[in-house]
């Protein structure tokens, strides 16, 4: 029987792995198994039964024609994912989330170190060794040093996910794989919800660090900003890492953020975000280096985040009305 299975695999090896072909292959395998067992019951030897089965079922072109399958339509020429491919994709998304989360965290830690060292310089720390400007340059150096591995993580993550770009053009999942991924997604839901709640609570509570630091004097407020950035870095890591895992399940199941409607919304929102956030970062750096407003310029990030959230929600509502 293994010979028949191997023969059938070879027959379909050169054909597109579509859902239609998968069903045809399973149907043929069932028919061939039935014929094989009939021949064995009739007293045929293993080799005789295998030879008769293979000779009777002919080649794949004849079978497709006889079964009325016809030509495979262009839109159906999408791959049927295997279990190994889905596992590799989920693992790649998990690694990507880890790298992007760590890279983003490094950037925020770098910004925190810049503010911390610059503030120490303003308050006379090591004034006998370094001037205030020198301390600012040291802080900038730390930021640039952390920027390098962060960028490397972003680039490496993007390169790793590049080989899965073909999934955006469409794919099929066998029923058993789809059921397994749905079950795993349900099991992961509690973990994702916990990470989301933890991240939101950290962000909401993070300004407390500034209030506490301010209680020790106005010059101490910048130290609170450093703590705030560190807390937000942890929250962002939780959002990115666990969000990527959830995104892998959603993409494979074509639900949530990866439904057709959501993809269109994300393209517009993503385009706006790619313009807004770099501008906000420029405002943050210019106001700090040029106008020395490190103690208050951090406010641009939460304010922009709130405004961007309002924009995203308004856009989604308007799109929903248009669709209705």
3-class secondary structure, 64: helix
Mean pLDDT of 146-173: 85
pLDDT value, residue 71 = 47
pLDDT confidence bin for 70, thresholds 50/70/90: very low
The highest-confidence range among 124-128, 140-144, 193-197, by mean pLDDT, is: 193-197
Query: Measuring CA to CA, which residue among 257, 243, 245, 80 is closest to residue 166?
Result: 80
Q: Is 212 helix (H, G, I), strand (E, B) or coil?
A: helix
Phi, psi of 203 (to 5 degrees): -65, -40
Q: Residue 271 above 70 pLDDT? A: no
Q: What are phi and psi of 172, to 5 degrees?
A: -120, 150
The pTM for the full model equals 0.62
**Where does the pLDDT of residue 274 fall: very low under 50, low under 70, confident under 90, or very high at 90 and above?**
low
| pLDDT band at residue 263 under the 50/70/90 scheme | low
pLDDT in tens, 211-232: 888 888 777 777 888 888 888 8
At residue 193 the predicted structure's pLDDT band, cuts being 50, 70 and 90, is: very high
| Residue 75 pLDDT greater than 70, yes or no | no
* CA proximity to 101, closest of 195, 223, 188, 226: 195
- How does pLDDT run across 9-19, given as a tens digit for each residue? 766 665 656 66
């Amino acid at each position: 029987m293994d010979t028949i299975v191997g023969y059938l695999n070879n027959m379909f090896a050169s054909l597109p792995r579509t859902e239609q072909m998968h069903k045809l292959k399973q149907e043929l395998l069932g028919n061939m198994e039935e014929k094989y067992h009939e021949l064995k019951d009739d007293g045929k030897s293993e080799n005789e039964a295998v030879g008769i089965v293979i000779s009777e079922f002919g080649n794949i072109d004849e079978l497709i024609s006889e079964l009325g399958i016809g030509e495979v339509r262009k839109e159906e020429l999408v791959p049927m994912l295997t279990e190994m491919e889905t596992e590799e994709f989920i693992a790649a998304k998990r690694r990507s989330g880890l790298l992007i989360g760590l890279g983003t965290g490094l950037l925020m830690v770098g910004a925190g170190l810049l503010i911390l060292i610059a503030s120490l310089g303003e308050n006379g720390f090591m004034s006998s060794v370094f001037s205030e400007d020198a301390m600012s340059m040291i802080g900038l150096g730390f930021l640039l040093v952390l920027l390098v591995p962060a960028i490397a993580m972003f680039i490496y993550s993007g390169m790793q996910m590049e080989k899965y770009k073909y999934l955006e053009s469409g794919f099929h999942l066998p029923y058993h794989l789809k059921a397994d991924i749905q079950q795993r997604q349900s099991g992961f839901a509690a973990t994702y919800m916990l990470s989301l709640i933890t991240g939101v609570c950290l962000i909401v509570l993070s300004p407390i660090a500034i209030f506490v630091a301010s209680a020790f004097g106005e010059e101490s407020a910048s130290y609170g900003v450093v703590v705030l950035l560190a807390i937000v870095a942890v929250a962002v890591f939780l959002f990115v890492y666990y969000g990527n895992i959830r995104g892998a399940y959603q993409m494979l199941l074509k639900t949530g953020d990866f439904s057709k409607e959501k993809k269109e919304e994300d393209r517009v929102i993503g385009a706006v975000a790619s313009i807004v956030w770099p501008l906000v970062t420029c405002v943050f750096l210019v106001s700090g280096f040029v106008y020395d407003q490190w103690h208050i310029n951090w406010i641009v990030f939460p304010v922009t985040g709130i405004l961007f959230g309002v924009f995203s929600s308004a856009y989604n509502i308007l799109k929903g009305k248009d669709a209705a």
